[in-house]
Amino acid sequence: MSDQQLQHLTDSVAYLPADHETDRPILAAISGKDRTLLLDAGNSPAHARLFLTQVAKLDRPRPELVAITHWHWDHVFGMKEMGLPSIAHHETKSMLQKLLPYDWSDEALAHRVEQGSEIPFCADMIKKEFPPASRGEIAIVLPTITFADQIEIELGGITCRMDHVGGDHAYDSAVLYVEQERVLFLGDALAPDIYTKERNYTTAGFLALLERIAAYPAEWYVESHGTPLPRAQFWQEMDEMRAVALLTEQCHGAREEIMERLPENIGRALREDDAQLVQYFISGWKKNCS
């Protein structure tokens, strides 16, 4: 695991880049005149510490709150280390409540994978981030403040709004919009459903979510496991994903027909990663038909 360095996205937004080695998501610090808000708690105490140490060196008000985008382990296992009141959707709290009694030993993880309540990808990443000696550090902390649809957080000249958007990846997903800086933190909301045998997107779910996201006049879009994208680049990617979703509907999930018609719909030759995206939508189509 490499030690990432804090980057500055806008005057009031700094972030620690994602680290794919152990699936660490982007963590962000948003500062107004009066206080700093952190976004997501990290996938371990070590991840949270790496971030907090660098945030402490910024010439900004100290962090007072942490906003959580959704319940997945990589966004919440650093909550105790953060040592701050947290804000999350009420369904995030419900899911974390279910995790409270969990045992995180290799055996318990293997058992849950077998049962289907855990997936191999997350079990492997948890084992990698927490070698046996530090596995005992895993502690689930419940959010301090919960909301249903929306909550506004005033930082002093900088206003953040969290909106619950749900989606295929996690029904509790919330996005955070930094109004004055026009930065939209998407969490993993636009990622596929991964807690299943076949990763998938439902066309209806994805298209509805994209509509909601289009309503934000954002200049920057930040997906937790990607790099921040400026407006034009983000929407170029989203327009291609929308085209795949629409084609999946038009072709009733027929792979060959989708692949054949895709190049003219996205205005470019196919790339290697297109097949996987098409497969995610086909899996979602089949799931909805079964």
Residue 72 or 164 having the CB closest to Zn ion: 72
Residue 289 CB, shortest distance to Zn ion, in Å, is 26
Exposure string of 103-112, with b = 16+ CB inside 10 Å and e = fewer, is ebeeeebeeb
Strand bridging mode 86-89 / 63-67? parallel
Residue 187 CB, shortest distance to Zn ion, in Å, is 7
Among 24, 35, 47, 72, binds Zn ion (CB under 5 A): 72
Return the closest-CA partner of residue 104 out of 95, 113, 116. Answer: 113
Residues 191-250 that bind Zn ion (CB under 5 A): none
Specify the stretch interacting with Zn ion by CB under 5 A; choose among 40-48, 158-166, 184-192, 227-235: 184-192
Place of tokens 């079990």: 123
Residue 170 CB, shortest distance to Zn ion, in Å, is 6
As given in the structure block, the two tokens for residue 129 are 């981030």
Q: Which residues, in sequence order, are CB contacts of 217 under 8 Å at separation 6+?
A: 182
Residue 194 or 246 having the CB closest to Zn ion: 194
Residue 121 CB, shortest distance to Zn ion, in Å, is 11
Q: Which residues, in sequence order, are CB contacts of 106 under 8 Å at separation 6+?
A: 127, 132
Query: Quick check: 38 and 29 in contact, CB under 8 A?
Result: yes
Return the closest-CA partner of residue 190 out of 211, 206, 171. Answer: 206
Query: Quick check: 72 and 47 in contact, CB under 8 A?
Result: no
Specify the stretch interacting with Zn ion by CB under 5 A; choose among 7-15, 160-168, 187-195, 206-214: 187-195
Specify the stretch interacting with Zn ion by CB under 5 A; choose among 70-78, 105-113, 127-135, 250-258: 70-78
Residue 118 as a binder of Zn ion (CB under 5 A): the answer is no
Among 188, 193, 223, 274, binds Zn ion (CB under 5 A): 188
Specify the stretch interacting with Zn ion by CB under 5 A; choose among 3-11, 15-23, 32-40, 188-196: 188-196
Residue 188 or 274 having the CB closest to Zn ion: 188
Q: Under rule CB under 5 A, how many of the chain's residues touch Zn ion?
A: 2
Residue 173 CB, shortest distance to Zn ion, in Å, is 8
Specify the stretch interacting with Zn ion by CB under 5 A; choose among 11-19, 30-38, 72-80, 97-105: 72-80
In sequence order, which ranges of the chain are alpha helices (DSSP H)? 45-56, 73-76, 79-82, 90-99, 106-115, 120-129, 203-214, 231-250, 255-266, 274-289
Q: Which residues bind Zn ion (CB under 5 A)?
A: 72, 188
